[in-house]
Amino acid sequence: MKKLNLEMIVGMFLLAGFISFSWLAVKMGDINPFAEETYPVTARFTSISGLKEGSAIELAGVIVGKVSNIELDTGDYEAVVHLDIDKRVELQDDTIASIRTAGIIGDKFIKLTPGGSEIILGAGDEIEETEPAISLEELVSKYIFDTK
């Protein structure tokens, strides 16, 4: 009887450890098995300075997606950013995508500003209106070395 209780305690301890390890692996790997469905949209920027894959996409301060992939269009020398947007969010075709910084030296994210058009973007469409990242170094050097 005593041996059975000890085996049950060890088994429960191992099960709790396995569940904890699985939860940690899912959180650290940024995997969400219960994630909402998304649809892909692209946007082109002249500069994405500091934006990374997995960065948040916000609309009205609410996270509505993430950056899934970033690649360089060597023909136009622009960054093509692939966005995964929550299916529940409808974006107008005149939506503006801007790269912003969370705080002064925080992570970069994409801020979406909705438009007023009645045409809704679908899967695979492109956001035409974009604002590139503002480089703090460029601003500082502009004001320091500006010779007016």
13-58 pLDDT, tens digit each:
899 999 998 888 777 766 665 556 889 999 999 988 888 998 889 9
In this structure, the answer to whether residues 16 and 81 fall within a common structural domain is no
In this structure, the answer to whether residues 66 and 18 fall within a common structural domain is no
DSSP state of 92: B
Residue 120 placed within a domain: yes
In this structure, the answer to whether residues 47 and 20 fall within a common structural domain is no
Residue 139 placed within a domain: no
- pLDDT of residue 2 exceeding 60, the answer is yes
Residue 146 placed within a domain: no
What local confidence, expressed as pLDDT, does residue 11 receive? 87
Beta carbons within 8 Å of 91's beta carbon, 6+ residues apart: 41, 85, 112, 114, 120, 121, 127
In this structure, the answer to whether residues 50 and 123 fall within a common structural domain is yes
As beta bridge partners, residue 79 has 45, 72
Q: Which domain holds residue 30?
A: 1-34
CA 1 – CA 86 distance, rounded (Å): 54
In this structure, the answer to whether residues 54 and 19 fall within a common structural domain is no
Q: Which of these ranges, 67-76, 77-86, 108-117, 138-147, has the smallest mean pLDDT?
A: 138-147
Query: Of 45, 44, 50, 27, nearest to 103 (Cα)?
Result: 50
Q: How many domains does the chain have?
A: 2
